């Protein structure tokens, strides 16, 4: 690699970093972030309610870990990370167009692809923090009786990383969608709660066309609880390949998003 190329890469990374800082400070203040922080704390309330019910009615036939796993499967994996990725990912481009603020970004000496990557990184970071905080408190509340069992923390960390991988992957996908579609929410909802929910139950290789398939392949299948039917017919991909696939999908969609955003002409409506 010659010096000029190296310098170019360094400049590009520096631009991504600058955009990341800009959108992180902006994202922290946005109303949407505050709303989603509240939503991401819903499982904490649910965990509290469950724990109180267990305490008062002495129902202890389901372990805290099993409830936690079910919450990951139902609330986090099939709802929260999809919603977070959908609203943050698609808004990456659309909020600049609708707010007519795109001009302020595209008239600065930073590559357009750095704007997309920096903003993607900032928004993904925000959603990672949201899910992380919510999940940690949920985990601690549900496992109050076993807080000294350190093997549980390993499981918690694994689940957390899987959810984060899901956020990274889904946000990359929705970022790409947002760079070329105008009405992205409807498409996103259909994808999230239609395609992803249906395809994952198809037998054979078809289920590998859903991102959630690779996420579920990385999670421990709950053996108890009322929601185990959701894993019906899951034919898991080996963990290493699942991680690779998730990273590959994220990389491809981010690359396409940068390409589209750099080449497409966005006309701000008067």
Residue 133 in the binding site for other proteins (CB under 8 A):
no
What mask, x for binding other proteins by CB under 8 A, covers residues 233 to 262? -----------------------------x
If the CB atoms of residues 26 and 185 are measured against other proteins, the closer one turns out to be: 26
Instruction: Write the burial class of residue 16 (CB in 10 Å: 0-12 exposed, 13-18 middle, 19+ buried).
Output: buried
If the CB atoms of residues 3 and 31 are measured against other proteins, the closer one turns out to be: 31
Least distance CB 3 / other proteins (angstroms) = 17
Least distance CB 16 / other proteins (angstroms) = 11
If the CB atoms of residues 15 and 54 are measured against other proteins, the closer one turns out to be: 15
Query: Total residues at the site for other proteins (CB under 8 A)?
Result: 31
Least distance CB 7 / other proteins (angstroms) = 12
Residue 167 in the binding site for other proteins (CB under 8 A):
no
Interface residues for other proteins in 35-94 (CB under 8 A)? none
Residue 21 in the binding site for other proteins (CB under 8 A):
yes
Residue 205 in the binding site for other proteins (CB under 8 A):
no
Interface residues for other proteins in 104-123 (CB under 8 A)? 104-112
Residue (of 131, 138, 151) closest to 51 by Cα position: 138
Cβ–Cβ < 8 Å for 217, 76: no
Residue of 1, 38, 186, 267 that binds other proteins (CB under 8 A): 267
CA angle 15, 20, 21 (to 5 degrees): 100
Cβ–Cβ < 8 Å for 131, 215: no
CA angle 50, 55, 56 (to 5 degrees): 100
Q: Which residue has the tokens 């299948």?
A: 221
The upper half-sphere exposure of residue 145, i.e. CA atoms within 13 Å in the direction of its Cβ, equals 10
**Cβ-based neighbours of 216, under 8 Å, separated by 6 or more:** 73, 77, 200, 231, 234, 236
Residue of 15, 70, 78, 237 that binds other proteins (CB under 8 A): 15
Angstrom CA distances, 65 to 71, 163, 240, 268, stand at: 10, 16, 24, 50
> Alpha-carbon distance 52 to 48, whole Å?
6
Least distance CB 35 / other proteins (angstroms) = 13
> Alpha-carbon distance 7 to 25, whole Å?
27
Residue 100 in the binding site for other proteins (CB under 8 A):
yes
193 secondary structure, DSSP code: I
Residue 7 in the binding site for other proteins (CB under 8 A):
no
Part in contact with other proteins (CB under 8 A); list of ranges 58-66, 96-104, 164-172, 245-253: 96-104
Least distance CB 111 / other proteins (angstroms) = 5
Contact positions vs other proteins (CB under 8 A) = 11, 14-15, 18-19, 21-22, 25-26, 29-31, 99-101, 103-112, 262-263, 265, 267-268, 270
């Amino acid at each position: 690699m010659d010096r000029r190329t190296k310098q170019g890469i360094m400049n590009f990374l520096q631009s991504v970093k600058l955009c990341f800082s800009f959108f992180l400070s902006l994202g922290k203040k946005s109303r949407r972030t505050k709303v989603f922080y509240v939503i991401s704390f819903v499982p904490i309330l649910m965990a509290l309610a469950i724990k109180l019910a267990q305490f008062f009615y002495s129902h202890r036939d389901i372990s805290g870990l099993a409830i936690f796993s079910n919450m990951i499967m139902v609330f986090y994996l099939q709802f929260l990370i999809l919603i977070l990725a959908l609203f943050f990912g698609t808004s990456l481009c659309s909020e600049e167009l609708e707010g007519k603020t795109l001009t302020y970004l595209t008239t600065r000496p930073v590559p357009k692809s750095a704007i997309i990557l920096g903003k993607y990184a900032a928004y993904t970071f925000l959603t990672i923090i949201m899910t992380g905080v919510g999940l940690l408190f949920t985990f601690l509340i549900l496992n109050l009786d076993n807080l000294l069992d350190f093997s549980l923390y390993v499981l918690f960390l694994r689940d957390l990383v899987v959810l984060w991988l899901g956020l990274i992957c889904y946000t990359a996908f929705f970022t790409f969608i947002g760079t070329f579609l105008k009405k992205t929410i409807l498409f996103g909802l259909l994808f999230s709660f239609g395609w992803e929910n249906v395809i994952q139950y198809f037998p054979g290789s078809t289920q590998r066309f859903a991102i959630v398939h690779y996420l579920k392949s990385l999670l421990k299948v709950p053996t108890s609880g009322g929601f185990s039917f959701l894993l019906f017919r899951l034919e898991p991909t080996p963990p290493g390949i699942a991680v690779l696939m998730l990273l590959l999908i994220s990389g491809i969609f981010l690359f396409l998003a940068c390409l589209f955003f750099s080449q497409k002409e966005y006309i701000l409506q008067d």
